[in-house]
A and B are shown apart, each in its own frame.
Chain A
Amino acid sequence: MSNTLILLIVLVIGVLGFFAGRARAMAAAGGDRRNLHSLPNYYGANTALNAIVPAGIALAVWLIVQPFVINNTVSGMIDQEAIAEGSSLGLIMSDVRRVAEGLDVAVAEGAMTEETAADMRTEFTDVRERLAEVGVALGSGVTSETLQAAQRYREMAWTGNWLKTLVVIAISIGGLALTWRLITRDYRARNVVEKGVLSVLILAASIAILTTVGIVFSLIFNTYEFFKLYPAADFFFGLNWSPSFSGRGQSSQLGILPLLWGTLYISLIALLVAVPIGLFSAIYLSEYASKSVRAIAKPMLEVLAGIPTIVYGLFALLTVGPLLVGVFGEGGALGVTWMSGGTAVMTAGLVMGMMLIPFVSSLSDDIINAVPQAMRDGSLGLGATHSETVRKVILPAALPGIVGAILLAASRAIGETMIVVLGAGAAARLSLNPFDAMTTVTAKIVSQLTGDSDFSSPVALVAFALGISLFVVTLGLNIFALYIVRKYREQYE
């Protein structure tokens, strides 16, 4: 019986349980709900939950455990000696599974009866041909051992499925019956239901942890695989980045330093654009601007933060790049030949700077506003001009927070992908010229993992090592920045 059907049956039992539980509670109370400890619906919900949840958990566990059990039993049947050179137990087992699936399909389509499938012998039938008739293609001929294993596999799966159906439905009915019997007028149904709801809430909150664990494990596991194939020292200290897709990584040079340099260079230019503009905007908006100017300019600047990065990427590639070539390129307005193509560190950096302006300005704005008014009043009262107050009193007081804001913007710049993929170029190089095309960690993660690369070559796996470096750097910056900002906030609260 299919899992959906089992689930459906369990749900129906649950619904029945709801009404049964509610009815029993009302009966116990003599038809007057005021005699009950909880509202009648809680008795129903309690019964329904006990009918559904344990059965659901049992089903899930069964689904995970059954394949393991069957695999172990069936692979025990295969003679270790019989495994051919260049093959492995895993490969034979996947053959067995394919044959078993093929037999299933054949039976389902009526091409053979259940008995034929179970009794077939390789000595008498060409299994491969019979399966090809129903559209299941097998890579090689089927040995008698594989076929026997496949038949055993099917047999066990069949028994397992029936057992599963019986056990799950039994647990469901059992849960219902047990809870139903417990119901008296003093039974605390609400407390039980609320405990159930609370555990659902806790489960939801733990998903955040699961995500982090998932990120860390998928990165670490694959990075470990990578370092088995490629020495870690060469990765962290290598000055060359030239992956070779053909040579199984033997001739590839995968050093992170050129990528790191590109990332930092682009981020630096972005911050050089974003920090002065963002900071001065924040100062003007919080200290000088009239209410109406603030009401228009602040949301307008924040629009920049809401624009998707693909838009900035396209803008860099198609508008800013050609514009810069027109100025700094050959035959350009300045008559210099610094820039040869539209994609360059400068292009990506300028556009990324635009994107970061609102990050710097909103955060700094909040922080400047948090400086107590008394400090301003004191400074102005002593005769300082407004700008002197800002420079001598407000900025020093707000400095830690502003540093935190800049660090957050930096972490954003380092992790930014689309702008650099489209605007910065693809060549990894160590150069000082900001008009050269360079590439970054994020851009290389994208280029190593898109396409049909398999996950066994170092050329693809290096992306995970790049990913973990990126994750560690941005996480470190973030934790540090949040620590500074929080510490600063507490100072004036």
Chain B
Amino acid sequence: MTDAATDMPEKAPAQTAHGSLLSESPLMKKRNAAEARFKMYGIVAITFGLAFLIFLTFSILRNGIPAFTHTVVNVEFTLTQEQFDEAESKMLKTAAYTDIFVTNITETFQQDGLDVAFDADTIERLLGKVGGNLREFYRENPDQIGQPVTFELSAASRVERYLQGKLTRDMVVDGRFLEAADLDVVDAMVDAGIIGSAFDWNFITGTDTGVDNPGGAGIGVSVIGSFFMMLIVLLLSLPIGVAASIYLEEFAPKNRWTDLIEVNISNLAAVPSIVFGILGLAVFIQFAHLPQSAPLVGGLVLTLMTLPTIVISTRASLKSVPPSIRDAALGVGASKMQSVFHHVLPLAMPGILTGTIIGLAQALGETAPLLLIGMVGYVAREYPDGIASGLLDPNSAMPAQIYTWAARSDEAFFEKAWGGIIILMIFLLTMNIIAIILRRKFERRW
């Protein structure tokens, strides 16, 4: 708090009888400067806030978008009938296919005037199990034999990182994943123009992989896990929350018990989420022996967390229904219960739904409690086969999956984590937009 204001009374008489309105006295100049400065602080603060938001969005998009594409090698390949028969007759059938592939790709390189030496092992390190894929394709489509077919083979994640410049030659340690000499082949492929990138559907629909295959990891199963959790949250927290709010708003007498409930609800809304995780661990897993890592347990914990949010928003929308509606219903002979369930509740429904969606969106992004009930670290490799298995079998959830990826030591998983965040944010954004539309469309001003 500066000088300008406090000094005013003493200095005022010292000035020439009446300062002109047109010219600025030194004091006024100072005060106006303070005013301008103060306004600047505000603008700077808001700019900072918005800059944070933009920086965050930018870094999510920049780091996450590569997760949706993967590097592929497009090879045109013709398999003759003789080659097919010969390969099928061998002991190691897939190895035979790999050999044919190696011969073929060498030809391609030679046509382009490139000369690099490589063998089947190199191909396996760069492109995975090529032979198996080829064999599967030709066995399923025997009519394609003898015709040129373009194959899109996805490259290993290390190749991808090399092409992105995140992995340099001197960082490569020869091993079963990649050898320095392999990179010459990659360079040759780039020169031949057969390397490109394609949209990676596997990231969206696929399952999580172990720690040694970052390229193949997908988020699909954990989306399903999140879906089952949200189902539980919706089915439990909406009816319980609405029932509790109706009681507190419409029926509760003013007494100690209802006061206690109200204080409780507002405090529960501010309890750190990790404490709900401890509750879930102690009550649902330790005491009730429900299975660990199950979406059912996650759903129950998140229900308890979401209840206060839903109760608070439901009470607000019940409160906004004018008393005249209740009075009119009571006036024509409805009971209190009838007036609430037949008149007040339907009018409050849009507000309740908006609040519920926002509560669900919050629950969807919540991670900390899931850490404690064992959803992190579980590798979600399989889709559940039904509703019961979806609820009771161990699974991951979107935020837990992101955390699992971020905690792995292989940096290639970080990209997946960012990509997972984009998917999570798309879900959240959609839910919030639905809530806004609902509010705009149905909100009534009385």
Contacts and interface: CB of A to CB of B under 8 A. Distances in A.
A388 B50 contact: no
Contacts of B372: 445-446, 449-450
Nearest to B264: A208
B139 interface: no
A446 B368 contact: yes
B69 interface: no
Contacts of A267: none
B233 to A, nearest CB: 14
Interface string A189-219: 0100010011011111111110110110011
Given A206-B261, A209-B260, A288 B31 contact: no
B335 interface: yes
B217 to A, nearest CB: 16
Nearest to B55: A319
Given A190-B335, A207-B307, A285-B46, A385 B267 contact: no
B41 interface: yes
B428 to A, nearest CB: 7
A240 interface: no
A387 interface: yes
Interface string B270-286: 11111111110111001
Interface string A464-491: 1001001100110011001000000000
A358 B260 CA distance: 29
Interface in A326-359: 354, 357-358
Interface in A200-244: 200-209, 211-212, 214-215, 218-219, 221-222
A418 B403 contact: yes
Nearest to A298: B46
Given A297-B46, A449-B372, A310 B367 contact: yes
A276 B31 CA distance: 22
Given A304-B49, A315-B56, A388-B5, A417 B39 contact: no
Given A198-B337, A311-B60, A446-B368, A208 B261 contact: yes
B304 A445 contact: no
A384 interface: yes
B275 A446 contact: no
Contact of A467 (B244, B275, B337, B418): B275
A280 B42 contact: yes
A201 B417 contact: no
Contact of B272 (A219, A442, A482): A442
Interface in B249-265: 251-252, 258, 260-261, 264-265
Nearest to B406: A314
Interface residues of B, number: 89
Interface in A436-462: 442, 445-446, 449-451, 455
A220 B265 CA distance: 20
Interface string B395-435: 00001001100100000001001100100110010001000
B244 A386 contact: no
Nearest to B270: A478
B274 A308 contact: no
A385 B52 contact: no
Nearest to A414: B272
B49 A307 contact: no
A297 B43 CA distance: 11
B45 interface: yes
Nearest to A216: B279
A259 interface: no
Given A297-B46, A309-B367, A467 B267 contact: no
A214 B39 contact: no
Contacts of B270: 408, 411-412, 474-475, 478
A317 interface: yes
A215 B47 CA distance: 41
A419 B265 CA distance: 26
Contact of A198 (B251, B266, B432): B251
B4 interface: yes
Given A194-B337, A463-B278, A308 B244 contact: no
Contact of A318 (B241, B258, B264, B414): B414
Contacts of A445: 274, 278, 372
B102 to A, nearest CB: 38
A53 interface: no
A301 interface: yes
A134 interface: no
A284 B278 contact: no
Contact of B35 (A205, A280, A386, A418): A386
Interface in A290-330: 297, 300-301, 303-304, 306-311, 313-315, 317-319
A411 B273 CA distance: 12
Given A208-B268, A311-B60, A354-B52, A422 B406 contact: yes
Contact of B34 (A206, A208, A387): A387
B371 interface: yes
Contact of B266 (A197, A449, A467, A482): A482
B337 A284 contact: no
Interface string A172-187: 0000000000000000
B11 to A, nearest CB: 14
A314 B417 CA distance: 8
B368 A207 contact: no
A277 B48 contact: yes
A416 interface: yes
A412 B240 CA distance: 26
A416 B272 CA distance: 7
A288 B42 contact: yes
B35 A304 contact: no
Contact of A310 (B37, B265, B399): B399
Nearest to A211: B304
Nearest to B1: A391
A439 to B, nearest CB: 14
A486 to B, nearest CB: 10
Interface of A: 190, 194, 197-198, 200-209, 211-212, 214-215, 218-219, 221-222, 276-281, 283-285, 287-288, 297, 300-301, 303-304, 306-311, 313-315, 317-319, 354, 357-358, 361, 384-388, 390-392, 408, 411-412, 414-418, 421-422, 442, 445-446, 449-451, 455, 463-464, 467, 470-471, 474-475, 478-479, 482
Closest 10 CB pairs of A and B: A415-B272, A308-B365, A284-B42, A218-B282, A280-B45, A204-B243, A387-B38, A201-B247, A417-B368, A205-B244
Interface of B: 1, 4-5, 31-32, 34-35, 37-39, 41-46, 48-50, 52-53, 56, 59-60, 63, 239-241, 243-244, 246-248, 251-252, 258, 260-261, 264-268, 270-279, 281-283, 286-287, 304, 307-308, 311, 335-337, 361-362, 364-368, 371-372, 374, 376-377, 399, 402-403, 406, 414, 417-418, 421, 424-425, 428, 432
20 contacts: A198-B337, A203-B243, A204-B244, A209-B260, A211-B264, A211-B279, A215-B279, A219-B282, A283-B42, A304-B52, A311-B365, A311-B421, A357-B52, A385-B34, A411-B270, A445-B274, A449-B281, A449-B371, A463-B278, A474-B270
Given A385-B32, A422-B403, 15 more contacts: A194-B336, A201-B243, A204-B244, A207-B240, A209-B260, A211-B307, A215-B276, A297-B50, A300-B50, A306-B428, A391-B5, A412-B270, A415-B272, A450-B371, A450-B377
